[in-house]
Structure 1
Amino acid sequence: MVRLPVVFLEPPLGAVGFPGGPSFRYLQGNVPKDVESMFEASFKWFEGFESRVLGRLKALYPDVEFTPYYARSIDDLEDFLAKEGDAVGYVVIDLQGPSGMVQRVLTTGKPIVLIAESLGGGGDYLLYNRLIEQYPVVAVVTRSIDSDYALGKVKYLVALARLRETHAVIVSNRDLSNWLASISRNIGVRFTLMNGNEFVSRYYSKVSDEEARPIAEAWVKGAYQYPDPDRQWPEVLKSARLYIAINRVLEDYKANAISIDCLGLRSVTNVVLDAWPCLPYMQLWLDGKYVPMCEADANSLIVALIGKYLLNTAGSATDPVTDELTGEVTYYHCYLPINPKPGIRLRYSIIPSHLGTRYAAVNVEYPIGSELTAVGIDAVNKVMHIHVSTVTGNELSLPACGTKVIAKSNVKTLARKWGAGWHRVPLLGNHREELKEMAKLLNLKVIEEDAD
Structure 2
Amino acid sequence: MPFKSKRRIPIAFIDPAIGDLGGPPESIKWIEEKKMNLLNTLKTLYPGVEFVGYDIRDLSDIQAFLSSEGDAVGYVVVSFNSIMGLIDPIIRSGKPTIIIAESYAGAGEYMLGISKAVDEGYPVIGIATRNITSQEALAKVRYLIALVRLRQSKILFVVSPSLRSHLYWQFGPNTDMYSVLRLIQSITGVAPVIMDANEFRSRFFDNIDAKEAEEWAERWIRNAEAVHDDSKDEIINSARLYLAMRRAVKELNVDAIAIDCIVLYNTGLLRAWPCIGYMQLWYDGIIPICEADPYAAIPILIAKYLFNRNGFIVNVGVDEERGEFIYHHCYAPTNPHGSDKPEVPYIITKAHLGTKHASIHVRLPTNEPITVVGFNPEERLLSIHVSKAVNNEYAPQACATKLIGSGNASMVVRNWRWKSGWHRVIIYGDFRRELHEFAILLNLNAIDEDL
Supply the RMSD in Å over aligned alpha carbons: 1.3
Q: Helix, strand or coil for the counterpart of 1:390?
A: strand
Structure 1 gaps, min length 5: 18-37
Whole-Å separation in 2 of the counterparts to 1:391 and 1:146: 34
The one-letter code of the counterpart of 1:12 is A
Whole-Å separation in 1 of the counterparts to 2:257 and 2:129: 41
Aligned to 1:258: 257
Aligned to 2:290: 294
Whole-Å separation in 2 of the counterparts to 1:383 and 1:256: 24
- 2:11 corresponds to which of 6, 28, 32: 6
Q: Helix, strand or coil for the counterpart of 2:231?
A: helix
- 1:118 corresponds to which of 103, 111, 123: 103
Report Cα offsets for 1:5-52 as digits up to 9, x if no partner.
1110112232222xxxxxxxxxxxxxxxxxxxx343322221111111
Aligned to 2:397: 399
Matches within 5 A, 1:419-438: 419=417, 420-438=420-438
Residue 170 (1) aligns with residue 175 (2):
no
Whole-Å separation in 2 of the counterparts to 1:380 and 1:245: 33
Question: TM-score normalized by structure 2?
Answer: 0.92
The one-letter code of the counterpart of 2:78 is I
Report Cα offsets for 1:253-291 as digits up to 9, x if no partner.
111111111112122xx211100000010000122x211
Residue 147 (1) aligns with residue 144 (2):
no
Whole-Å separation in 2 of the counterparts to 1:394 and 1:14: 59
Quote how far apart the aligned CAs of 1:125 are.
2.3
Quote how far apart the aligned CAs of 1:397 are.
1.1
The one-letter code of the counterpart of 1:356 is G
Aligned to 1:248: 247
Quote how far apart the aligned CAs of 1:410 are.
0.8
Whole-Å separation in 2 of the counterparts to 1:131 and 1:238: 58
Aligned to 1:135: 122
The one-letter code of the counterpart of 2:401 is T
Aligned to 1:198: 199
Matches within 5 A, 1:87-126: 87-126=72-111
Aligned to 1:21: none
Whole-Å separation in 2 of the counterparts to 1:327 and 1:52: 49
Bigger Rg, which one:
1
- 1:283 corresponds to which of 264, 280, 285: 280
Whole-Å separation in 2 of the counterparts to 1:171 and 1:298: 12
Quote how far apart the aligned CAs of 1:354 are.
0.6
Q: Does the aligned pair in 2 maintain the 1:187–1:379 contact within 8 Å? A: no
Aligned to 1:331: 327
- 1:72 corresponds to which of 41, 57, 68: 57
Q: Does the aligned pair in 2 maintain the 1:300–1:423 contact within 8 Å? A: yes
The one-letter code of the counterpart of 1:206 is N
Quote how far apart the aligned CAs of 1:207 are.
1.5
Residue 319 (1) aligns with residue 315 (2):
yes
Matches within 5 A, 1:433-452: 433-451=433-451
Q: Does the aligned pair in 1 maintain the 2:114–2:124 contact within 8 Å? A: no
Aligned to 1:377: 375
Aligned to 1:27: none
Aligned to 1:183: 184
Q: Helix, strand or coil for the counterpart of 1:101?
A: coil
Aligned to 2:69: 84
Whole-Å separation in 2 of the counterparts to 1:378 and 1:144: 37
Whole-Å separation in 2 of the counterparts to 1:332 and 1:257: 22
Whole-Å separation in 2 of the counterparts to 1:407 and 1:326: 10
The one-letter code of the counterpart of 1:98 is I
Whole-Å separation in 2 of the counterparts to 1:312 and 1:257: 15
* Identical positions, percent: 41
Whole-Å separation in 2 of the counterparts to 1:78 and 1:241: 55
Whole-Å separation in 2 of the counterparts to 1:294 and 1:145: 41
Q: Does the aligned pair in 2 maintain the 1:390–1:408 contact within 8 Å? A: yes
Whole-Å separation in 2 of the counterparts to 1:188 and 1:448: 25
Q: Does the aligned pair in 2 maintain the 1:113–1:137 contact within 8 Å? A: yes
Whole-Å separation in 1 of the counterparts to 2:214 and 2:18: 71
Whole-Å separation in 1 of the counterparts to 2:116 and 2:94: 10
Aligned to 1:15: 20
Report Cα offsets for 1:113-140 as digits up to 9, x if no partner.
1001111111122222323423211200
List, as ranges, runs of 4+ consecutive aligned residues in structure 1 with deviation greater than 6 Å: none
Q: Does the aligned pair in 2 maintain the 1:96–1:121 contact within 8 Å? A: yes
Residue 341 (1) aligns with residue 341 (2):
no
**What is the number of equivalent residue pairs in this alignment?**
426
The one-letter code of the counterpart of 2:19 is G
Report Cα offsets for 1:102-159 as digits up to 9, x if no partner.
1111111101110011111111222223234232112000111122221111011111
